[in-house]
Each structure stands twice: as structure tokens, then as C-alpha cells.
Amino acid sequence: MKNIYFIGKEDLTIEDLEWIITGNIKVELSPEARERIQKCRDYLDQKMETETEPIYGITTGFGSLCNHTIPNDDLSTLQENLVKSHACSVGEEVTPLIVKLMFLLKAHALSLGYSGVQVATVQRMLDLFNNDILPIVYDKGSLGASGDLAPLANLFLPLIGVGDVFYKGQKRDISTVLDEFGWSPIRLKSKEGLALLNGTQFMSAHGVYAIMKAARLTQRADLIAALSLDAYDGHIEPFDERLHMIRPHPGQLETSRNIRRFLEGSEIITRKKKHLQDPYS
């Protein structure tokens, strides 16, 4: 199906991300990703039943509370409180495109099957993405190497039925949107809050967007250069591939190839020149 991308079927590339974002492509979990996620969740549930030693952040508190044991009845509440307490990013709202990239990058990371989340948790992320229900995330609050804890907490508040989203051109409370779709909030299980918040998808989304934008600008720069060369009645010989293979710099090779491609079929570029050297300053 050409209009569907299956998360977890193969490596996620920047080209994939741009195709999904710009082409309004729907995203689904691949069968193999579902199997991996469920297998890891089953392992963790089994571990919880047999493990007698404390497991940090799962059966204990966080940070200085690492020696505090959490009763089994409170394990879900612990994870939900973790998300709520860290949802404190501030500043300007990030663009919808960045939020979409965050969703895709996180869904891919979780699809690898090493995080212990529920299939339902990842599926709800994709449901929000596919229906253009975008959480409100602010641009300040990342802890850098420790992870994008605050932005990711804001991203995932709506999973548990809390926080604001942008939907159909309006800022809405997620609870009203969930009612429209007949969805119930996700009840996080042990470890899921940690799995959702630990990551660098906020920074990575900005990095991916910068690369996408740079690639488009580079392509347009090559097109402008080719049109300028034609307008100045310049020589095409300096862009011969054999010359650029001597270097050989990948970007230089690509630019020379683009200029030759853009000017293919031009009557101006192939005609005999009156001047020996093209103007360059």
C-alpha cells in the first residue's frame, strides 16, 4: 500500500521521514514490530512476577528515592506521575512538523522491541499522528544528554488523557478529543513512563528538520547556479564528471551532476562561446 508506511519493518531514513511528512502518509505498526514489542512486554511482566530484587524506576522511586520500594498496586501510578511531573517545558510552542517528527522517531525507537512498552501505547501514538491530533510541546526544557524529558513528557501527556492538543485548527483539551473518537486514556504499565521520557527525539526532530531544509536549499542553489550559467552563456565543460572525480568530494560530484542534468537539452549551453572564460566575480 503506497500511502501507508509500516513502522519497524526496516530502518527509518530521513528520506522516509520527509516522504511521510510531506505526503500525508498514514503510519502503521508492522506485524514484526508488534511481535517484538509484545515479546519484550511479556518478558518484563514475567520478570516482575519472579524478581525479588528491586528494579530501578520500575519497583523503586527515581533519583534520591531509588531506595524507596513501590507497592505493586502503585506501579502504574508511578509511571503516570513521572510523565505528569516532567511535563514542564516552557517557551514557544514548537511547530506541528516538529511534533510529527517526534512521534515518528519515538514510534520507530519503541518498535525495535527493547523498551518494555505495550503495543497499545505505541498504537495510540500512531492514532494521534494519523488523525493529526498533535500535542502542544514547548521549545525549552530539554536536559540534553540526559534526554528530552520535559518536551517528551508534554508529547505523551495526551496518551494518559491529560494536556492540550492542536486538532482541526483549534487548541483543545485532549479529554474532549478522546470522547469524540471513543478512545479511553492509556493506562501505563510498569516502566512505560521511563520508556516514553528517556530519549532524544526532540533534539533529533530538530536535526532531521534542519537536514531536510538544508537539502532543499542545496537543491535550489544548484538550480539557481545552472540557470545563471545558462543566462551568462557559460561553459558546461568545467562541470564534466571526469574533472570532479579527481577530488572526489561527494557533494561536489552531486552538484556538478545536478547542473549537467538541469541544463540537459539547453541550446544555449551547447552553442559555441565567444568568450574564453566565464564571468565569476
Last residue of some domain: 199, 234, 258? 199
Q: Do 214 and 195 reside in the same domain of the chain?
A: no
Which residues does 107 contact at the CB level (< 8 Å), separation at least 6? 7, 27, 29, 122, 125, 126, 129
Q: Do 261 and 178 reside in the same domain of the chain?
A: no
Give residue 169's domain range: 4-199
* 187 within some domain: yes
Chain segment 210-251, per-residue pLDDT in tens = 999 999 999 999 999 999 999 999 999 999 999 999 988 999
Which band of pLDDT confidence, cut at 50, 70 and 90, is reported for residue 279? Answer: confident
pLDDT of residue 1: 53
pLDDT of residue 60: 94
Asked if residue 178 has pLDDT above 60, the reply is yes
pTM over 0.85: yes
pLDDT of residue 281: 63
pLDDT of residue 191: 96
- 8 A C-beta contact, residue 222 and residue 192: no
The span from the CA of 35 to the CA of 41, in Å, is: 10
Chain segment 8-43, per-residue pLDDT in tens = 999 999 999 999 999 999 999 999 999 999 999 999
Chain segment 188-216, per-residue pLDDT in tens = 999 999 999 999 999 999 999 999 999 99
Q: Do 139 and 72 reside in the same domain of the chain?
A: yes
- 8 A C-beta contact, residue 195 and residue 117: yes
Q: Which of 185, 133, 131, 128 is nearest to 160 (CA)?
A: 185
Last residue of some domain: 160, 176, 199? 199
Chain segment 100-158, per-residue pLDDT in tens = 999 999 999 999 999 999 999 999 999 999 999 999 999 998 776 678 999 999 999 99
Q: Which of 177, 211, 199, 31 is nearest to 104 (CA)?
A: 199
Last residue of some domain: 167, 199, 231? 199
Chain segment 44-67, per-residue pLDDT in tens = 999 988 988 999 999 999 888 989
Q: Do 66 and 141 reside in the same domain of the chain?
A: yes
Give the residue numbers annotated as catalytic, written as ranges: 56
- Phi first, then psi, for residue 163 (nearest 5°) are 100, 180
* 47 within some domain: yes
275 pairs with which residues across the strands? none
Q: Do 175 and 254 reside in the same domain of the chain?
A: no
DSSP H or E stretch at residue 166: strand 164-167
Q: What is the 3-state secondary structure (H, E, C) of 79-102?
A: HHHHHHHHCCCEEEECCHHHHHHH
* 44 within some domain: yes
Domain total in the chain = 2
